[in-house]
Structure 1
Amino acid sequence: MGPVGDRFEAYGLSHWVLMVLIVAGSVILVVLGRGVHEQALERWCRAFAVVVLGFNVPLLGFRLMPGEWDVAESLPLHLCDLAWMVAAWALWTRQATPHALLYFWGLTLTPQAIITPALDSPDFPHVNFIEFWGQHLLVIWAAAFLTWAVGLRPTWRGYWVSVGVTAAWGSAMLVFNEAAGTNYGFVSSKPENPSLLDLMGGWPTYLAVEVVVGMAAWALLTWPWTRSREPVTAP
């Protein structure tokens, strides 16, 4: 991973190792989960939820401590912060609404953060590195596990709920960022690191493009699970 004190570099060794781990871990969890009996599957899901909370809650508490407090960074207001909370909720309950949010956030928005990480931090084992990658890794693993191992499926109702919740969050962040001088969700300005937003124009144009592209992508991710099969006609 590199000596302690080295800065994290996008597409350096640690970045590639983590991306491989995310994909490989997702596949392994799905394969293992499919072999679990239904009665044991609930225990697996709840144990997974405890792992998600056990990793993220102490780090959240650490960020809120006086010595670490920064209004621009410490509050759990990024979508990736909400995603781990939704992941724990979905794993514990296996309900449709949290799974829909986890499915869309975890399999579209979280991978963007993995591909173009907004991480200005020393490399492993710095706490910022561990927090960033552990948080995103667990969200993607949970989304894959619940969808392809447990068998939860997105629906058009879940699609629209997710669109509405995400739009409400984005609107709230615009107001909060303006009042607090922050940039949660990167809705008030683009991140400093290169990202897909660079292809979408300036502010506020990129917000409108992001909404259109995001809704289209989520619709494409919903359609395969909801399309009805054509009836077979006998010759």
Structure 2
Amino acid sequence: MARTVDGLSTHTACPAGRLRQAGDVVTDGSHQFTTLGASHLTALAVFLILCWPLVVLGRRQRVTGDDLRFRRAFAVAIPLFTIPMQALQFTPSEWDLDTSLPLQICDFAWVVAVYALWTGRRWAASVNWLWGTTLTLQGMITPDLGSGWAEPRFWMFWGMHALIVWSAIYLVWGLRITPRWRDYRLTVALTTLWAAAAMTFNAIVGTNYGYLNGKPHRASVLDALPAWPTYVVIEVLVVSAVWALMTWLWVRRPQPPVAP
């Protein structure tokens, strides 16, 4: 899995990162990636172009009630892409203990997205929404990605991230399966559980999944925060506040009874 910046907050990776090292240089090209380079901007453009059609489709389906077939086709499409790409990371040529294990928040987010699409359950759609439109999206804007478009990791990264956010946008903005306060609390609890497990694993094995045990090796907004572990505490507080605001914005609006 690609080294990217997302996860617990603005810069907890999905997938894993490693600790900052001297001499890390990345240039844009078919095998290397530069933030805001040609491949980055192209990927973002494709992602953005497809967002609005999904919203329009979801709104139309909410009126007609014929969303089930598309939702389930979308749900099947996600693992058909992510599982083979993740399996590739376990091959000898791609294996890296720091990045290959499915321990990032996005590795769990795509599973939640599949369940949300298949069932239409509000709690799953809400967790996917809060994770996807903050942590996953931030990873797309400021990726800690070293692989260019000719590398499988590039497609793994952008495919997984885009599918997660697209599903969140479709379910919430399109079908209006929106979060409630209990869904907010569940998201915070699940994220806390993941962070505790990831930090423990990192401490034992010496990895840095989620950038929870050290800042990214590339420049990031975490550089403006204090050293570990203070920046992790700040991340938790900021993300929890943002999620609360996002939930409140939906709770205060009249909502159709579209999901349990």
Q: Please report the TM-score for the alignment, with normalisation by the length of structure 1.
A: 0.91
Q: Which runs of 5+ in 2 are unaligned?
A: 1-27, 255-260
Alignment length (residue pairs) = 226
Q: Distance in 1 between matches of 2:86 and 2:110?
A: 11
* Structure 2 match to 1:232: none
* Contact kept? 2:132, 2:165, Cα under 8 Å: yes
Matching residue of 1:184: 209
Q: Is the 8 A contact 1:117 1:193 kept in 2?
A: no
Deviation at 1:3, TM superposition (A): 5.9
Q: State the structure with more CA Rg.
A: 1
- The partner residue of 1:87 within 113, 116, 134 is 113
Match of 1:195 among 216, 220, 226: 220
Q: 2:127 corresponds to which residue?
A: 101
Partner of 1:139: 164
1:49 equivalent in alignment to 2:78: no
- SS in structure 1 at match of 2:67: helix
Aligned mates of 1:4, 1:177 — CA distance in 2: 31
1:112 aligns with 2:138: yes
Amino acid at match of 2:195: G
1:225 corresponds to which of 245, 250, 259: 250
Between the aligned partners of 2:129 and 2:68, the Cα distance in structure 1 is 19
Match of 2:88? 62
User: Could you tell me whether the CA contact under 8 Å between 1:84 and 1:139 is conserved in 2?
Assistant: yes
- The answer to whether the 8 A contact 1:116-1:194 is kept is no
Aligned letter for 2:46? L
The structure carrying a bigger helix percent of its residues is: 1
- TM-score, normalised by the number of residues in structure 2: 0.82
Partner in structure 2 of residue 233 of structure 1: none
Q: 1:174 to 1:43 in 2, by over 3 A?
A: same
CA RMSD for the aligned pairs?
A: 1.6
In the alignment, the residues of structure 2 paired with residue 4 and residue 213 of structure 1 have an alpha-carbon distance, to the nearest angstrom, of 36
Any stretches of 5+ residues in structure 1 without a counterpart? 230-235
Considering Cα pairs closer than 8 Å and 6+ residues apart, tell me whether 1 or 2 has the greater RCO. 2
Amino acid at match of 2:71: C
User: What amino acid is the match of 1:182?
Assistant: T
Q: Secondary structure at the match of 1:40?
A: coil
Question: CA offset at residue 200 of structure 1?
Answer: 2.1
Change (3 A) 1:28 1:125: farther
In the alignment, which residue of structure 1 is the partner of 2:12?
A: none
Kindly provide the CA deviation profile for residues 67-123 of structure 1, in whole angstroms up to 9, marking residues without a partner as x: 4332221111111221111111111111122112101110000111111101011x2
CA contact (8 A) 2:86 2:156 kept: no
Letter in 2 for 1:30: V
Residues in 2 aligned to 1:228 and 1:162: alpha-carbon distance in whole angstroms: 20
CA deviation map 1:197-219 (0-9, x unaligned): 22221100100100110011001
* Separation in 2, partners of 1:32, 1:148: 10
* Separation (CA, whole Å) in 1 of partners of 2:187 and 2:133: 13
